[in-house]
């Protein structure tokens, strides 16, 4: 697991399992990678807990499409991986990896849509990630 030292999250996290599509943001002169599927497991005003089929390093940039239920709406945003961890005791290809990601770009409408969705969910106070 890679994570900067200390807990820096200041906002409440809300459980909200949502389907996402993501694409890593390539370096200069490189073509974007294809879109892949994953899940958002919780969100806050500052970022998301993502479950992805690949391990991405801290600092990796992402383009995200977060699929909201019932409204058939999609929130497009950008984020940066802050930390990652393997969720399986003996990882195999295709096992999910958890990633904490901070928003780097999201429209006010997108943030409002996520906040409304999360407002009905149970709050989790800031603190250490669950084991």
Residue 55 included in any domain: yes
Residue 74 included in any domain: yes
Domain range for 96 is 32-119
Residue 126 included in any domain: no
Task: Read off the pLDDT band of 3 (50, 70, 90).
Answer: very low
- 57: domain CATH number is 2.40.10.220
Contact of 49 with 43, CB cutoff 8 Å:
yes
Give tens-digit pLDDT for 68-99.
887 678 999 999 999 999 876 777 777 789 99
Q: How far is CA 83 from CA 110, 124, 125, in A?
A: 23, 18, 18
Residue 20 included in any domain: no
Residue 36 included in any domain: yes
- Count the domains in the chain: 1
Q: pTM for this one?
A: 0.78
Residue 92 included in any domain: yes
Q: What was the pLDDT predicted at 10? A: 58
Residue 1 included in any domain: no
């Amino acid at each position: 697991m890679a994570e900067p030292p200390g807990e820096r999250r200041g906002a409440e996290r809300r459980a909200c399992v949502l389907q996402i599509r993501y694409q890593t943001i390539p370096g200069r002169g490189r073509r974007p990678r294809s879109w892949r599927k994953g899940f958002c497991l919780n969100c806050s005003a500052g970022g998301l807990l993502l479950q992805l089929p690949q391990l991405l390093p801290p600092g990796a940039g992402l383009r995200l499409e977060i699929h909201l239920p019932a409204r058939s709406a999609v929130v497009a945003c950008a984020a940066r991986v802050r930390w990652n961890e393997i969720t399986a005791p003996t990882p195999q290809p295709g096992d999910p990896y958890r990633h904490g990601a901070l928003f780097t770009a999201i429209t006010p409408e997108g943030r409002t849509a996520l906040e409304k969705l999360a407002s009905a969910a149970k709050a989790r106070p800031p603190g250490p990630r669950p084991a």
